[in-house]
A and B are shown apart, each in its own frame.
Chain A
Amino acid sequence: MSDRHVIVLGAGPAGLAAASGALAEGARVTLLDDGDRLGGQYWRHHERLTDPRLQHGWAAFLALRDALAAACESGRATVLQRAAVWRIDGEARRVHALVGTADAPGRRRVEIAGDAIVLATGAHDRALPLPGWTLPGVITAGAAQALAKRDGVVVGRRTLVAGAGPFLLPVAQSLAIAGGEVAAVLEASRMPALAAGWLARPWELLGAAGKAGELAEYAASLARHRTPYRTGHGVVRILGDRRVEGAVIARLDAQWRPMAGTEREVACDAVALGHGFMPRIDAALQVGCAVTDAAPGAPRFVVVDAMQRTSVDGVLAAGEITGIGGADAALAEGDLAGRTAAGAAEASLRRAVRRRDATDAFARRLEDAHGMRDGWRTWLEDDTLVCRCESVDAGTIARAAGSASRAMRLATRAGLGACQGRTCGAAVEALCGERLGLDRRPLLAPMRLSELADARDAPGDLPSHV
């Protein structure tokens, strides 16, 4: 029995598993998540609107959710949903959040102090810019799935799905189940790279529970709907005046450069783009966690030791922020992180460590197979917007990139708009060839001035379940 209070940020697979692991080791848990419902992105749902065929591992989610609810009933856990964390004081292990309907005025201020914090803040889609990508009807792969799962809608009647990574497959399936037609699924990586990633060391696939079956399911879905799946292909231009009216696709070489003469037009009225994921490391950076080194524009991950501890004492991390690995890895890492945070002895956690090691091995393969190549820059024209919020185009950024000064590069305003560089930051940094510090965010979530002003007053009382 532990007398530690573990705070968990994020209620996706990693966070739910962390809460569960910490509770199993006898700790008290406070779980904060900014969504209306638990589950994060992977288990995004609505009780009435979500077609059950869209979910994976649903039984696991229900088990975690129900165990957590029971812990709340018995007073060992507190769950705060609709909680936007805007500041973390790492040294004090104190989390500041605003609880209430997203973006609504009148949210309640809470401050939670604990003995350990587990960061499980997940990832969001990366969509590479290309001509026409700001047209209405162009969405991320994650948006296509979120709209299908959460709202039961599709954006267009016929969607072209393009990008890189195995996530494109469940997205295509989601669109089909939600009643949309999928024009094609285009994977930028070419067969040799994919074979090397997926087929090498097949014994590691044994550790990735059910992956083979899942793959077969997607393949069957594509076949059933006669949806072409093309490797070594990508969208190079999206057509339309006020919304998507079509797209130009091309074969891509090994560096993702379009091959001349292979362009052809595809009929569609929506495009779902997904070139992998960017880990949401804002909170980790604010707390001071060490992150991996990577070229400008490439994702950086929170560095963790064998027990999921970060470089900051009392702060642990699990899930996509430690490496893009999918739900299985997130569950294993979360469980281990939660148990470690609760103070469990390392010797007692060998099974959790083995489980984590097995799932992580598979995860590393994905990057090998589907990793980004530089040729995407050749898709851009001078007037292709790169920063969507501030409408800054590639030509403007290229000119600023040549300047001797970092300050000049910031003067384009790329990355300084409403989304604070979350969408364009990686592309802008890649084009500038330099890290611009766009992912250092003193405010982790937008807040109204009155809400910040209220921070002069003592926070309100904490209920047991919101």
Chain B
Amino acid sequence: MRVVVVGAGVIGAACALRLAQAGAEVVLVDRSGIAAETSSRCEGNVLVSDKSAATSVRAEAELAIVANAMWRELAAELDAERGDGPATEYEAKGGIVVAFPGGADALLRFAEGQRAIGIRAEPLDRAALAALEPDLSPAVELGVHYPDDAQVQPSLATQSMAAAALRRGATVVRAEVTGARMRGDRIVGVDTTTGPIDADAVVVCAGPWSGEVAGRLGTHVDIRPRRGTILVTTPMRQRIHHKVYDADYVGAVGSGDAALQTSTVVESTPAGTVLIGSSRERVGFDETGTLPALAEIAAKATRLFPFLADVQLLRTYAGFRPFAPDHLPVIGPDARVEGLFHASGHEGAGIGLAPATAALIVHHVLGTDAPFDPAPFLHSRPGLQVAA
């Protein structure tokens, strides 16, 4: 069976690998190469810490738990067979979410909700926090440690998956998809800038451009870009040992319903730089990259680690998170076009959710058993239906 995977970011690469492993003939198509866009402009987060157990998004949290465990094995697999190829730089460094006075209760409730669905979340008092992160602001009141939070080098990890797919017979085509080849209601191939490619199935993993690609293929998916910015400091000796998040929470309506609003994240890299980003910007920061937004990220970072105030920034870079209106990824068959599948809308969690997404796509495309309930992510779900 030949499957065309549109988009060679982390989602496309993961799908290509798992499909190829399951025996499909995979053609990975991208107009800019492998890991050319969002997957090389993010931090490489493999997180459970920022996943809320709130009902409306619990499915994503559960997906993240599965994906987090899958990453451990996937990274070992990829690194074992890479030869001279890129390493994933997988590191189970763990994450710490901290609260300043006034926010401790909300954080504890949030963590409680997470523990109830199986996320390991261990509260830390000031002394415990100081032991794990000596340079953390003494004003922090409370922290929660998520030992399962991990990190990969996202661009290299994507490369590594693509290389592994190629070793199993997949091919890469550098071209832009321009349209669909149809037989009735069924897609039987894609037209591209370098010619047509026949296919038994087409999977759209085009990140923020998934909506555009879907349109060219005769269907519709409401995926839009939301910009995220990362600040990069000058290299220095390591003073930050985990991913550290400053959690800002909306007031909790019910005990399980606190949703993560915005969160500044700070972490070190092997190169010695410190990355400062902003995660889960569902509300506010609509225009990350504008000066007030950048300044806010900088201020929050120095609030977490006062020593950062004097550290020099060298550059910023931005990536686009693809998001769906109900903030859940879209994984599964297109509601209209037979043979067309979606795997997009991961909104800042693409790296982390990639292996679980790939597993679901193999189920949908090749008919293998579903590894977990695919219903919340379907293209046909109510939360995605938008008046056309």
Residues in chain A within 8 A of chain B (CB atoms): 87, 96, 105, 390, 403-408, 410-411, 413, 416-418, 420, 441-443, 446-450, 452-456
Contact = CB atoms under 8 A, between A and B. Distances in A.
A410 B298 CA distance: 25
Interface stretch (B106-114, B137-145, B309-317, B352-360): B309-317
A448 B233 CA distance: 9
Given A449-B309, A456-B296, A443 B316 contact: yes
B302 interface: yes
Contacts of A420: 314-315
Contact of A449 (B40, B153, B302, B315): B302
B314 A449 contact: no
Nearest to B30: A405
Contacts of A408: 86, 155-156, 159
Contacts of B33: 404-407
Given A452-B294, A454-B295, A413 B271 contact: yes
Given A442-B316, A449-B308, A404 B34 contact: yes
Contacts of B294: 452, 455
Contact of B312 (A404, A413, A448): A448
Given A442-B316, A443-B314, A443-B316, A449 B233 contact: yes
Contacts of B313: 443, 446-449, 452
Interface of B: 32-36, 39-40, 86, 153, 155-156, 158-159, 172, 231, 233-235, 271, 276, 291-292, 294-296, 298-299, 301-302, 308-318
Nearest to A103: B312
B381 to A, nearest CB: 33
A87 B294 CA distance: 12
Of the listed residues A87, A390, A456, the one surrounded by the most CB atoms of chain B closer than 10 A to its CB is A456
Contacts of B271: 390, 413, 416
A407 B235 contact: no
Contacts of B158: 407
B87 to A, nearest CB: 10
Contacts of A418: 234-235, 314
B160 to A, nearest CB: 11
A87 B299 CA distance: 18
Contacts of B86: 408, 411
A404 B310 CA distance: 39
A212 B33 CA distance: 52
A106 to B, nearest CB: 10
Contacts, number: 103
B290 to A, nearest CB: 10
B317 A442 contact: yes
B46 to A, nearest CB: 18
15 contacts: A405-B34, A407-B36, A408-B155, A408-B159, A411-B156, A443-B313, A446-B312, A448-B309, A448-B311, A448-B312, A450-B310, A452-B231, A455-B292, A455-B295, A456-B295
Contacts of A453: 295, 298-299, 302, 309
Contact of A443 (B36, B153, B299, B315): B315
Nearest to A452: B298
B295 A410 contact: no
B333 to A, nearest CB: 30
A449 B156 contact: no
Given A96-B291, A407-B155, A411-B155, A442 B315 contact: yes
A416 B272 CA distance: 12
A416 B271 CA distance: 10
A450 B40 CA distance: 27
A87 B313 CA distance: 13
B171 to A, nearest CB: 12
Contacts of A456: 292, 295-296, 299
Nearest to A389: B235
Contacts of A411: 86, 153, 155-156, 159
A443 B311 CA distance: 14
A420 B316 CA distance: 11
A105 B307 CA distance: 13
B140 to A, nearest CB: 18
B302 A407 contact: no
B301 A449 contact: yes
Contacts of A405: 33-36, 155, 159
Contacts of A96: 291
Contacts of B156: 407-408, 411
Contacts of B234: 418, 446
A105 B298 contact: no
A282 B86 CA distance: 31
Given A411-B86, A413-B271, A447 B312 contact: yes
The 10 closest A-B pairs by CB, nearest first: A453-B299, A450-B309, A455-B295, A452-B298, A407-B155, A453-B298, A407-B40, A407-B35, A456-B295, A405-B34
Contact of A410 (B34, B155, B312): B155
Contacts of B298: 449-450, 452-453, 455
A452 B295 contact: yes
B228 to A, nearest CB: 13
A413 B153 CA distance: 13
Given A406-B33, A453-B299, 10 more contacts: A407-B39, A407-B155, A446-B312, A449-B276, A449-B313, A452-B295, A453-B295, A454-B295, A455-B292, A456-B292
Contacts of B301: 449
B88 to A, nearest CB: 12
Contacts of A449: 231, 233, 276, 298, 301-302, 308-313
Of the listed residues B298, B302, B308, the one surrounded by the most CB atoms of chain A closer than 10 A to its CB is B298
